[in-house]
Amino acid sequence: MKGVLIAQSKISVAYAKGLFLLLREQDKNTVNKIYDEFKSFLDDIGDKNTKIYKELSSPLIKTNDKVNIIKNIFDKKMEKLLMNFITLIIEKGRFNHIYEIYEACLLLRDENDGVVRGEIRVAKTPDKNRQDTIIKSLSDVIGKKILAKFVEDEAVIAGFVTLMGTHYVDYSLSNHLKQMETELNRS
């Protein structure tokens, strides 16, 4: 599974909220374990081109057979709450939304924890101290804890560009030059 944010449908958000509400009744260790198991489950079934994903989302395979496939493979590998949740998704014919549901669950957890995730695009990855300074500055601007990874991007000549949640920050040389050009044209 890729770490790319997937567009979310109303269906995936509704299921994610349901799981999120169930998890609020659990202790922190159980919650973390369930999120880890959910990710492992998705890693195990692979992407949408794998045989198991196609079987679990196929309208030609009976729901009971799909549930049995999941139980036979994953019953001993995951918490009962997560197994019941995935079984519900299958029974309601929503397995094709499983990746979106997981992403929506992560966003709800992050929102609850006051965290925002994203990538910071840079020409060359800065040293640890500079990374910490950039993350601290972004955290101060956005008002949330930042969990970010730095990604090298040739298009960013100097500075950085990032999308953190719904916050877009372009602190790149090219953006500064565009702003200067705009200011000069106004004069």
CATH code where residue 94 lies = 1.10.520.20
| Residue span of the structural domain in which 72 resides | 10-111
pLDDT of residue 165: 67
Residue 129 burial (C-beta neighbours within 10 Å; 0-12, 13-18, 19+)? exposed
Q: Which residue has the tokens 């509704």?
A: 14
- Counted residue by residue, the chain has a size of 187
Which stretches of the chain drop beneath a pLDDT of 50? Answer: 1-6
Same-domain status, 102 and 118: no
pLDDT of residue 103: 87
Same-domain status, 154 and 102: no
Residue 47 burial (C-beta neighbours within 10 Å; 0-12, 13-18, 19+)? exposed
pLDDT of residue 7: 52
User: Of 53, 85, 111, which residue is a domain's last?
Assistant: 111
Tell me if 5 is assigned to some domain: no
- CATH code for position 161: 3.40.30
* 3-state SS assignment for residue 117: strand
pLDDT of residue 59: 87
Same-domain status, 107 and 119: no
CB crowding 3-35: b at 16 or more within 10 Å, else e: eeeeeeeebbbebbeebbeebeeeeeeebebbb
pLDDT of residue 92: 92
Same-domain status, 68 and 102: yes
pLDDT of residue 4: 40
Distance (Å, whole) CA 36 – CA 62: 28
pLDDT of residue 145: 87
pLDDT of residue 175: 74
How many structural domains does the chain have? 2
Tell me if 4 is assigned to some domain: no
